[in-house]
A and B are shown apart, each in its own frame.
Chain A
Amino acid sequence: MSPRRRMQYYAVLGVVITGVLLCLPLVTGPYFQTVMISLFFWAFVGIAWNIMGGYAGQISLGHAAFLGTGMYTSAVLYVFWGISPWLGILVGALFSLGLALITGYFSFQFGIRGPYFILVSLAFAEIIRVIFVNIPSVGGSQGLPIPLEEPSFLYFQFVEKAPFYYIFFVLMILGLFVNWRITKSRLGYYLVSIRENEDAAATLGVNPLKYKLIALSISAVMTSVGGTVWAQYLMYAEPSHAFGVTMSIEIAIRPIIGGMGTLFGPVIGSLFLTPLGECIRLFVGGSVSGVQLLLYGVILIGVVVLLPNGLVFPLQRLLSKVFGGKER
């Protein structure tokens, strides 16, 4: 099959799948929608993380900082001043941008890379978590509930799950689009060059500080947006959930096992892990946190040892075999 035909085939496939996904809420119950919402959400924040971790090659275990900022900013603005979360998205994104620029600057300017950056990002999110736990006015360790009032689009209040299904789906698509545009742009190439060999890239005139900051900013803003919507979905903002290490791990693990630095990696990762997580929740209940993370550990180890580039590539090969055409 010629490449052109293959592109057309994929395009049609994409439209069909999208169509099906869009119609599903009409025929399925709330539980299915719940799982899909989670799937889309984690895929979206995974895409956001991937820009930093996969394309720029700077793995971060502190993205919960940005997500939590998004969650809390809009929650606080709404609960205390009745400001619509739509505005909250912007404000949260602004704060996250600030955070990203500050921590990014201090890390990258002074050569904090690789494992050290991981540690710094971890510590950073932890510090923010501890700060929020110690602020009683926004709920302290109990968190901040977002009161459910009448359903309203303006105030991001929905009783049913279906609207969130569509919102997160759209977010995911938007995320993919942004990611795709980056890949096709100069920025994308600069990021990859930084990932592959930062020093070599620098000698070629690519400013690592500048582009890493850009990547981190985009990543942070996207994550923050996801966080705001997530808070509205959960109707709750709580520090250990919003800023915790578990959250950072959840964000990072889907792109990692799905395929870092690939467009659909986070989606595939989410496709694989999210339903798995749900099954575990169903079967285990009590010590869910432990078992789920244990499984994550096993999967991470398995993927690293067996499929270091993630699930995307074997999947791609499978698809190629199914649809014919040369394996790239």
Chain B
Amino acid sequence: MFDWVTLLQAILGGALNGGVLALIAIGLTLVFGVMGIINFAHCEFLMVGMYVSYWLFSLLGMDPYLSVVISVPALFVMGVIIQRFLISPVLGAPVNIQVILTIGISLLLQNLALFLFSADPKAINLSYSSKLLIVGDALFFPWVRIYTFSAALGLSILLYFLLMKTHFGRTLRAAAENRRAALLMGINVERIFVLAFGIGMACAGAAGSLILPFYPASPEAGMHFIMTAFVIVILGTLGNFVGAFIAGIIIGVVQAVGAAYLPGGSMYEAVTFVVFVGFMLFRPNGLFGRSLERR
């Protein structure tokens, strides 16, 4: 008899993970969609968010889910500053230069964390960390993962409304769709860029806070997610917000199923890599096919 339980566990567990992966990817795709920058340092901001929440927990006993309230604005501000001083100057430069810049930022953040906090992973233990939701005596889901998924979903929905229903969101989408036309319409594109980058980083930071309950903070945490984040963004089509979310869930599931059925501990990363290469080869426009090239 086919082992449905393992499969179902993997699929549902993977979907739960996918929620926060989606949040990470949304930030990345937003920055690309609006500014055309592929931010290698994106997941380092996730790492920063993790550390912010970690220290808030260690020093003040603040629950990581609560600390999102702090990490989001903090990372937003950080993103704004970085955009204003580092990213802005290179917006017109060739892609290679932009990429090198973000790699430099990534190196800086990673090693600053290494220098300040050492390489030891810092895990936190909440009173409810080990509580499980048991379904039908066969499926086990840690409550923290469910909370994280819900929070990520909530934030994503919030962002969706921000983008779709508010004036600000409209101006942002306009700037993303056609920078010049937006400028001609009197939209302060420069300010949009700053805000968009800030939001993108805030997403990453929030994701960092949200995964802290089950993922220890370490300087290399960012590196673990960056490949996955890029794959999700491509899968969901670069610049496509909803696509990123759906792709996030899909990749979450794919990774979990891969981990369940493939031998070896980190083979699921190979799966991600295979998906990445596969999409680059056959469908670089992602699942939702919007044009990669921006005007």
Contact = CB atoms under 8 A, between A and B. Distances in A.
Interface in B259-289: 266, 270, 273, 276-277, 280-282, 284
Contact of B101 (A106, A112, A293, A305): A305
B280 A111 contact: yes
Contacts of B93: 308
A182 to B, nearest CB: 19
B99 A59 contact: yes
Contacts of A298: 104, 108
B105 A297 contact: yes
Given A114-B99, A119-B276, A305 B89 contact: yes
A291 B115 contact: yes
A120 interface: yes
A287 B266 contact: no
Contacts of B101: 300-301, 304-305
B230 A119 contact: yes
Interface residues of A, number: 36
A69 B280 CA distance: 26
Given A127-B273, A300-B100, A300-B103, A116 B227 contact: no
A272 interface: no
A294 B111 contact: yes
Interface string A129-162: 0100000000000000000000000000000000
Nearest to A294: B111
* Main secondary structure on A side of the interface with B: helix
Nearest to B272: A123
B93 to A, nearest CB: 6
Nearest to B93: A308
Interface size class of B (residues with CB under 8 A): 35 or more
A127 B101 CA distance: 25
A289 B113 CA distance: 12
A290 B281 CA distance: 36
B107 interface: yes
B273 to A, nearest CB: 5
A37 to B, nearest CB: 25
Interface in A65-79: none
B97 A304 contact: yes
A304 B266 contact: no
Interface of A: 57, 59, 61, 106, 110-112, 114-116, 118-120, 122-123, 127, 130, 245, 249, 256, 260, 287, 289-291, 293-294, 296-301, 304-305, 308
Interface of B: 38, 40, 86, 89-90, 93, 95-97, 99-101, 103-112, 114-115, 118, 219, 223, 227, 230, 234, 266, 270, 273, 276-277, 280-282, 284
Given A106-B281, A290-B219, 7 more contacts: A111-B280, A115-B95, A245-B223, A289-B111, A291-B111, A291-B115, A308-B97
12 contacts: A59-B100, A114-B99, A118-B99, A120-B276, A123-B227, A130-B266, A287-B118, A289-B111, A294-B115, A297-B110, A300-B100, A305-B86
